[in-house]
Structure 1
Amino acid sequence: MKVLFIGESWMVHMIHVKGYDSFTSTKYEEGATFLLNSLREANVEVNYMPAHEVQVRFPKKLEDLQQYDAIVLSDIGANTFLLQNSTFYQMEIIPNSLELLKEYVALGGGLLMIGGYLSFMGIEGKANYKNTVLAEVLPVEMLDTDDRVEMPQGIRAETIKDHVITKGMENWPNFLGYNKFKVKDGAEVLVNIQEDPLLVVGEYGNGKTACFASDCAPHWGPKEFMDWEYYQPLWVRILEHIQK
């Protein structure tokens, strides 16, 4: 299985104030390292594209996407795909990356979106996938605004449907939050968190789709989740289910 994993990277720019004086520093972080290593240990071939590389490296042709059995979007907003450098700065007309993803799934590809502050609608609605063509592809109905549910006290999920993905997954760990959405007609909810869906699977055209409402790693997915015995099987099974 060959997977393209996109997102889960960020830069933090800090201002340090020490009395009268101040200075700035910048650090770069990636949030998917633990998950990517888990997938590779399970013999999944993963090509990782950090969020900032989408601007210059996201494929411009459908054939380049079709080399992958599944594509994962995690904590990366729609603007990163829609406002690439050549369009935003040089006003060039280029292929719409989200249209390419839509066509990729329709022709049999697999697509997984994982939750986060820039997934689904995201913080202040800035991820904004509801207003893109992926709203048609994903198996969920997104909200019109900020869709975060913050749970600092922790909240456990519950398997509600027996499925090849959820086999044996009865004792879910705590999560610290998730993106809230509704399920489309015809899609399947496999796991709930409170009364909301956590894991949903569906179909679009000849392809399969999945949505996981919380994080694959901190901060919503705490160490308890990463240490869970089903952490690796969960992601491998989802990808096996949606792969073309």
Structure 2
Amino acid sequence: MKVLFIGESWIVHMIHTKGYDSFTSTKYEEGATYLLSCLREEGVDVTYMPSHEVQVRFPKSLEELQAFDAIVISDVGANTFLLQNPTFYQMQIIPNALDSIRQFVAAGGGLLMIGGYLTFMGIEGKANYKNTILAEVLPVEMMNGEDRVEMPEGFSPKASKSHPLVDSFGEWPRLLGYNKLVTKPDAEEILNYNGDPMLVVGTYGSGKTAAFASDCAPHWGSLEFMNWEHYSAFWGNLLKTLQ
């Protein structure tokens, strides 16, 4: 299986103040390194595209996207796809990258969106996927505005029904937050917490879709979750259902 994994990277710019004087430093981080290694161990061929590369390296045609079986979007907002450099700086008319993803799924590809501060609607509504064409594709309805639910005390998702994706895992580890979503009527809810969907699968055209409302990496992805004995198997199996 070939997967294009997009997102899970960021740049931190810090100001250090020591008395009268201050200086700045910058660091680059990637959050999905462990997950990507787990997927490769599960037999998934992953091409990783960090968030900042989308604006210059996202495939320009449906044919290029169809080199993959599935696309994963994790913690990168809609603006990154919509405001690519040629449009933002040179006012060029180019294909809508999110509509290219819609066409990819409709033609039989898979799509997984993983929760975070910049997926679904995200912090202050800045991810903004509800107001894009992907709202039609995903198996969940999104909120208006901010959708974060912070759970510093931790919570464990529960099975909504018996399903091969989760039946063998037993009790889930605690997570630290999620995006509040609603399962679409024609989709299948597999995990939930307190009535809110955590894992939903569905279809769009000839393709398959999935939404995981919490995070695959810190901080919502707690150390308890990252060290869970079924972490690799869960993500590997979930992606393989999208083929």
- Aligned with 2:28: secondary structure? strand
TM-score (norm 2): 0.99
Which residue does 1:204 correspond to in 2?
204
Alignment of structure 1 residues 47-86 onto 2, 5 Å: 47-86=47-86
Q: How many residues align?
A: 243
Give the partner amino acid of 1:61: S
Offset of residue 3 of structure 1 = 0.4
Cα distance in 2 between the residues matched to 1:43 and 1:199? 22
2:231 corresponds to which residue?
231
Partner letter of residue 3 of structure 2?
A: V
- Asked whether 1:173 is paired with 2:173, we answer yes
Is the partner of 1:89 in helix, strand or coil? helix
Q: Is the 8 A contact 1:6 1:51 kept in 2?
A: yes
- 2:178 matched to 1:154? no
Measure, in 1, the Cα distance between the counterparts of 2:167 and 2:207: 23
Structural mapping, 1:91-130, within 5 Å: 91-130=91-130
What is the distance in 2 between the residues matched to 1:9 and 1:193?
27
In the alignment, is the contact (CA less than 8 A) between 1:198 and 1:212 conserved in 2? Answer: yes
Residue matched to 2:4: 4
Q: C-alpha displacement at 1:166, in angstroms?
A: 1.3
- How far is 1:169 from its partner? 2.1
Structure 1: segments with no counterpart, 5+ residues: none
Q: Secondary structure at the match of 2:208?
A: strand
Q: How far apart are 1:170 and its partner, in Å?
A: 2.0
Shift of 1:194: 2.3
SS in 2 for 1:203: strand
1:157-213 CA distances to partner (integer Å, 9 max, x unpaired)? Answer: 111222221121221000100000101011011001222100000000000000000
Query: Could you tell me how far apart the structure 1 residues matched to 2:237 and 2:167 are?
Result: 10
- Over residues 70-97 of structure 1, what are the superposed CA-to-partner deviations in whole Å (9 max), with x where a residue is unaligned? 1000000000000000000000000000
Runs of 4+ in structure 1 over 6 Å off = none
Aligned position for 1:187: 187
Q: Equivalent residue for 2:242?
A: 242
Q: Percent identity?
A: 68
**What is residue 37 of structure 2 aligned with on the other side?**
37
CA distance in 2, matches of 1:26, 1:222: 25
Aligned counterparts of 1:108 and 1:146: Cα–Cα separation in 2: 31
Which is worse superposed, 160-169 or 83-92? Answer: 160-169
Structure 2 counterpart of 1:22, which letter?
S
Q: TM-score, normalised by structure 1?
A: 0.98
CA distance in 2: counterparts of 1:14 and 1:153, whole angstroms: 28
* Residues 1:15 and 2:41 aligned together: no
| Deviation at residue 28 of structure 1 after TM alignment | 0.3
Q: String of CA shifts for 1:198-240, please: whole Å, max 9, x gaps.
A: 0000000000000000000110011100111111111111111
User: 3-state DSSP class of the match of 1:186?
Assistant: coil
**Does the 8 A contact of 1:106 with 1:205 survive in 2?**
yes
Q: Which amino acid aligns with 1:172?
A: W
How far is 1:141 from its partner? 0.4
**Alpha-carbon distance in structure 1 between the residues aligned to 2:67 and 2:162:** 31
